[in-house]
Amino acid sequence: MFNSGWNCAQSVLSVFCEDSGLKKETAMKLATGFGAGMARKQEVCGAVTGAIMVIGLKHGQANEGDKEAKEATYRLTWELLARFSAKHGSCLCRELLEDCDLSTTAGQKYFKENDLHNKICAKCVRGAVHILEDIL
């Protein structure tokens, strides 16, 4: 998915659509704005936000007062964040991509010319999926 032009969040969420009963089209729309750390703002990595959505789909709170579901979701999200950071050095897109500013044309050019898509981002997508497979 990631190598076909979908963003990092979409790529992670798509892997788990069938298991969660989420329509792929809905998932792709839902995750669109989370790519590149939320619309190229380079906040939390899109692979991480996609993974958090998957955790929510599986364990999230659906009923008022269901504190057990909320706590399970928070616990798994904390575990995801800790493991992703340990593996990749951060959960923040701007830190993962170092000084590459995706909000600028120059930064986007640098990203392409230096193949950061494959060197960094693809590894983050795979890492998030593997962590999810392990903790779910």
Domain ranges of the chain: 6-135
CA distance 88 to 96: 7
Determine the average pLDDT of the residues in 83-107.
97
* pLDDT score recorded for residue 99: 80
Sign of CA dihedral 41, 46, 49, 53: positive
Determine the average pLDDT of the residues in 88-113.
97
* pLDDT score recorded for residue 43: 98
pLDDT at 84 over 90: yes
At 92, give phi and psi (nearest 5°).
-95, 125
Determine the average pLDDT of the residues in 30-59.
98
pTM of the model: 0.96
pLDDT at 33 over 90: yes
Taking Cα atoms as reference points, which of 25, 24, 50, 53 lies closest to residue 37?
50
Determine the average pLDDT of the residues in 129-135.
98
Taking Cα atoms as reference points, which of 87, 134, 127 lies closest to residue 2?
127
CA distance 63 to 117: 39
